Amino acid sequence: MSLIDSKWKSCILDELRNAAMRPSELHKALPEATPRVLDLQLKELVDDGLVGKTIYPELPPRSEYSITELGQSLLPILDAMITWGEANRDLFVRKYGQE
């Protein structure tokens, strides 16, 4: 659980499931996350081996993040969490008045 303990780590893994993304693309895909928080979460995911970072030797430098095989092994768990959330959405909307 400590590997995906933050709100944004599971969101990042979900975004990376289909394609590698540049940092700016991830920031656009997750606008509710502050850039600082997203960058810290990405660094932790890379350090934990769930996400890989590729830096291209260009000017200006360009980098991309992609999900690793280890990160992909978490996708069935994330899918189960998404399914559970969708099945119980109405309960939480009624209780907290928000989606």
Q: Residue 31 sits in a domain of what CATH number?
A: 1.10.10.10
- Are 55 and 22 in contact by the 8 Å Cβ rule? The answer is no
Q: What is the pTM of this model?
A: 0.85
pLDDT at 1 over 80: no
Residue 53 is assigned to a structural domain of this protein = yes
Domain range for 31 is 7-96
Q: What is the pLDDT of residue 65?
A: 98
Residue type, 85: G
Total domain count, the chain = 1
Averaged pLDDT for residues 10-22: 95
42-63: pLDDT as tens digits: 999 999 999 999 999 988 889 9
Q: Do the bridges between strand 62-67 and strand 51-56 make them parallel or antiparallel, or are there none, so unpaired?
A: antiparallel
pLDDT, one tens digit per residue, over 29-42 is 999 999 999 999 99
